[in-house]
Structure 1
Amino acid sequence: MGIKTELLSKANDIVASSTDAKELALASAIVKNVAEAEGVVDEEIYTIGTAGSVGFGVGAVRDWQMPAGFIKLAGHDNPVSENYGNVTDMNGSVMVAIPKFYFKIETNNVLISSKLKAGYVVHRAFINEGKEHDYIFVDKYGCGNVGGVFTSKAGLDPCSTHADHNPIASLKNTPSNTYGGLYSAVKTRGDKHFLTSKFIYSALAMLAFAHGKAATTTSACAFIDVDPKMPKGNLNSALSDVNDTSVVFSPSGYSNCALTGSGSPFAKTTHNGQECGIADLNGNMWEVASGFIRTDANGFLILKESVDITNISSDDTTQAVGGAYDIDLYDVIDISDVVNANDGWTYLGNGANQVFAMSTDRTSADYKRTALGIPLATGHSATGTIEFGNDGVYRYLRDEMACRCGGSWGYSSGAGAFAMYLGSYRTHSNDSVGGRASVLV
């Protein structure tokens, strides 16, 4: 073995297992410098990575794949950097690049791959306008109002859909202070920004779950030291996490809402348990998701793969117009084995039963409901399991339903990365409900 090869091997071992920050920084520098000296580009940095390892859950982006006006933050190409895979968009909002991935579910183990392998299927989050996309850029933080723009930055009072709490109606395009108004709010950032879909929230929860089960060191995944092995959040009206009181948040000045990205230790609040990850997916503010609606006339509806989600800029209900409640954009999905009445809360996990269905057929109901985070009929229960964070699903048959994700500062029992609330109407307004933007490339 040559000296460079041996040095690189040892440095990679340190990156994978060390918990010492200085060791990690030095080893990372060695990996980068040796690779540059050899003229080698580490192709793995452009993938989703390996569950349980440093850098998993985000990825670097090649220059030619960056959207116009987006800028890489310092450390973007370094898996141990707090800015790995992080960018700013043309308005200065911080977003995180999530490379396309494929998954396979075996009982309650979620396997993640950057390549299509036998028994795996691409996640629905990466399909738009009938095509697979290489990356999703997702807001790193909840969004506040900066100069009339719905902005993703740390330390902001998050915008809500209510006049009493930093209302989205104050944004420069004056959306309505309703859940449906968020489709317009994200467009203050650009035409290609869209209200983050339920598919994306489910993909992030899946990544968090897979990483939490695979990781063996807190340097790779900070939140695994306290069950559930899922991202922690601002819950229970205490500016702290209900399961891990070592995690605390800075007050925004409104009720028990926290400033965006203010959790400390920050890595415990991200989807991959690392500084580079997406924060506040559990608690603080409920976030309205696109792509999953319901009407009394048609039942539950899932956005067609052929639709361009970036064209949805309002909650218009008129058929054939292209608004979020234009039923022509959707397929019917039958989830009556889980939601068939106004039954209230149920929780993910039911003993050792498999929670989510697995199918490689993207036209199947099993594939679609897993993409939405809807459990199997036997995969939920009155209490759920700690493995899935006891995350809740609020079951309701609501006409023109707006799906809410994650939970808020007062929802300790049902909150979590998998949590969803199906009892809201698109014209509802609430001081603890907001959203975030995404972009596909």
Structure 2
Amino acid sequence: MAASSRGVPLTGGVTPVSAPASNDIGMQGLQGFGVGICPSIPAGFALLPGTSDPASPNYGNYQCADGSVMVWVPAFWYRIGHAANPTYATWLLNSIDVEPYSAFADVAAAAAAGYALPRAFYNAGAIQPGFFVDKYQCSNNAGVASSLRYGNPLTASSAHAPFAGLTGAPANTLGGAFAAAKTRGARFFPTMRYMHVALALLAMAHAQASASTAWCAWWDGSTTGLAGPKGNNNNALKDANDGAVTYVGDGYLNCGKTGSGVPFAKTTHNGQDCGIADLNGNVWEVSPGITCVASGKSITAATQANPVQITVAAHGFATGAPVMIQSVAGMTQLNDKFYTVTVVDANNLTLDGVNGTAYGAYTSAGTLTSGVWHALNTAADAAALTGGNTLATDAFGVAGVAAHSSPVAYAWSPNAIFDLRYGNGAAQVISPATSGTEWTRANLGLMASAAAIGTSGISAFGQDRYYQFILNELCPLAGGGWAYSSTAGVWAVYWSNARSYSNGTVGLRAASYL
């Protein structure tokens, strides 16, 4: 029998729930987990009927002046792969335990017990008590990007509910999502990458601790099934893994109206009506907070040797650098993969572990791309970011990176294709680090090691897609689209789109701090 993080047995029956404390994330596996009561309601926000009642569909839900429904996610601590985790016996190195912020006096006390505070609760140089996030993907509400049920999801395309149709005509690009979010007010911004990861951690902890569908409608009762919230992802207004889930179309291909999934609780992060909807499929969501400064160099030769040696004039790389190769003619086996390089001299590199003796002969062309990834630092204010690539306030570009981001090592699988999945056998997928570089990486959804990603993935992470790539002015996308089948999900991430990208399958969800 599973147990909650506070030792309360979970059964298939109704568990008595006392009046919730303000800003308590709740008990994983039980009613109301994953949302909570905001300790201080900001101007422009109002209670809904039942906001303070864990039994209400509106628990932890608030309404903005424009009508948007947002969910308050209280600060919490998480611990990964610890032998003392209640779910460790089943989920081992990928077990997740969640405790309320009140459980520890400070970050140091939590770290001593192996717990970390999610990056999502740091902003503008201070620890935040929580964050607001849209319950629904944004739709156009008289020129405002609003979180409303049964709306047509906004997208970065003129062909499908465009950002440009909002007040001020934001650009129909990924970068345009920043201006689109601000049509609701200056405090709002696209949900950050580390917020998406915090929600994924909550969903996963809830699934592991649940013992029935009573408080987690999408729980499947096994350690091998595909756990996680369902969504519109089978290209036919249903879920690829649960045919009982259906959506109402918005009139554009097989995109669904916001929050239209039935049964609704199966589509939320906590499997309850009070949760955050459609984090699995429907439209991809702009998910900033990490970007890349990258450049490509021309390949002029490649040897049929072990290891393959490539010629790139004045490459400037260091041994161990990750690179990506595309568009080689002749030796096509090299294309569309990641590699680690060893420097031979100023113009030549070898590809670690790549035996090219049976490859086709190189004839011409090819591009080798490398980059440096930069994560938004904790001193930055997410609400102050803009979506361009020239200003110090911009989330992209050299000036913005210098102003508010720090280099972070990307997680990639060498000698592998781009299209991978979260998890590989028994490997620990997310680092348990409580601080430092590995903590930063974990909170961006970057793998603990190359061994933790594979072509099939694992059920604990829903076999969600991890599309590795190197791209200048990177803007990650989260969640999946309506045609991405079982690879969509709360962990799914595309690292392959730039801020200038425009597409009718990409939308946004807004967030805000107090």
**Alignment pair present for 1:77 and 2:86:** no
**Alignment pair present for 1:89 and 2:64:** yes
Deviation at 1:327, TM superposition (A): 1.0
Deviation at 1:278, TM superposition (A): 0.1
Flag structure 2 segments of 5+ consecutive residues without an equivalent: 1-7, 82-92, 105-109, 296-370
Inter-partner Cα distance in structure 2 for 1:165 and 1:87: 28
Deviation at 1:339, TM superposition (A): 5.7
8 Å CA contact 1:344–1:395 kept in 2: the answer is yes
Inter-partner Cα distance in structure 2 for 1:168 and 1:192: 18
1:360 to 434, 440, 445: 434
Deviation at 1:124, TM superposition (A): 0.3
Once the two structures are overlaid, the 10-residue window that deviates more, 252-261 or 326-335, is 326-335
Deviation at 1:140, TM superposition (A): 0.1
**SS of the residue 1:222 aligns to:** coil
Per-residue Cα deviation, 1:137-157 (whole angstroms, up to 9, x for no partner): 100000110100001010011
1:61 to 38, 48, 63: 38
Once the two structures are overlaid, the 10-residue window that deviates more, 290-299 or 196-205, is 290-299
Inter-partner Cα distance in structure 1 for 2:12 and 2:383: 40
- What is residue 207 of structure 1 aligned with on the other side? 202
TM-score (normalised: structure 1): 0.88
1:217–1:172 CA distance, 2 compared to 1 (3 A): same
Inter-partner Cα distance in structure 2 for 1:76 and 1:17: 25
2:445 to 344, 357, 373: 373
8 Å CA contact 1:285–1:434 kept in 2: the answer is yes
2:218 to 223, 233, 248: 223
2:406 to 318, 325, 331: 331
Deviation at 1:173, TM superposition (A): 1.6
AA at the equivalent of 1:135: G
Inter-partner Cα distance in structure 2 for 1:214 and 1:278: 19
AA at the equivalent of 1:334: A
AA at the equivalent of 2:98: I
8 Å CA contact 2:11–2:211 kept in 1: the answer is no
8 Å CA contact 1:342–1:395 kept in 2: the answer is no
- 1:154-303 matched pairs, under 5 angstroms: 154-225=149-220, 227-296=225-294, 299-303=372-376
Inter-partner Cα distance in structure 2 for 1:308 and 1:341: 37
Inter-partner Cα distance in structure 2 for 1:324 and 1:68: 30
1:207–1:321 CA distance, 2 compared to 1 (3 A): closer
Inter-partner Cα distance in structure 2 for 1:140 and 1:342: 36
Inter-partner Cα distance in structure 1 for 2:56 and 2:284: 29
AA at the equivalent of 1:434: G
TM-score (normalised: structure 2): 0.76
Inter-partner Cα distance in structure 2 for 1:179 and 1:187: 14
8 Å CA contact 2:94–2:460 kept in 1: the answer is no
**Alignment pair present for 1:389 and 2:462:** yes
Deviation at 1:319, TM superposition (A): 5.0
Inter-partner Cα distance in structure 2 for 1:357 and 1:421: 20
Inter-partner Cα distance in structure 2 for 1:381 and 1:315: 33
Bigger Cα Rg: 2
- What is residue 435 of structure 1 aligned with on the other side? 508
AA at the equivalent of 1:253: G
Inter-partner Cα distance in structure 1 for 2:473 and 2:38: 37
AA at the equivalent of 1:78: D
1:46–1:359 CA distance, 2 compared to 1 (3 A): same
Inter-partner Cα distance in structure 1 for 2:77 and 2:270: 17
1:371–1:143 CA distance, 2 compared to 1 (3 A): same
Inter-partner Cα distance in structure 2 for 1:15 and 1:359: 29
Deviation at 1:322, TM superposition (A): 4.3
AA at the equivalent of 1:388: F
Deviation at 1:304, TM superposition (A): 0.8
AA at the equivalent of 1:225: D
1:14–1:77 CA distance, 2 compared to 1 (3 A): farther
Deviation at 1:387, TM superposition (A): 1.7
**SS of the residue 1:372 aligns to:** coil
AA at the equivalent of 2:409: D
**SS of the residue 2:434 aligns to:** coil
Per-residue Cα deviation, 1:278-302 (whole angstroms, up to 9, x for no partner): 0000000000112111111651110
1:92–1:301 CA distance, 2 compared to 1 (3 A): same
Inter-partner Cα distance in structure 2 for 1:340 and 1:303: 25
Per-residue Cα deviation, 1:226-273 (whole angstroms, up to 9, x for no partner): 731200010120111100101111111110000000010000000000
**SS of the residue 1:185 aligns to:** helix
AA at the equivalent of 1:346: L
- What is residue 109 of structure 1 aligned with on the other side? 95
Deviation at 1:340, TM superposition (A): 6.2
1:167–1:319 CA distance, 2 compared to 1 (3 A): closer
8 Å CA contact 1:231–1:417 kept in 2: the answer is yes
Inter-partner Cα distance in structure 1 for 2:125 and 2:425: 38
1:368–1:379 CA distance, 2 compared to 1 (3 A): same
**Alignment pair present for 1:414 and 2:400:** no
Once the two structures are overlaid, the 10-residue window that deviates more, 73-82 or 374-383, is 374-383
AA at the equivalent of 1:156: G
1:89–1:14 CA distance, 2 compared to 1 (3 A): farther
- 1:126-145 matched pairs, under 5 angstroms: 126-145=121-140
Higher helix share: 1
Q: CA RMSD in A?
A: 2.0
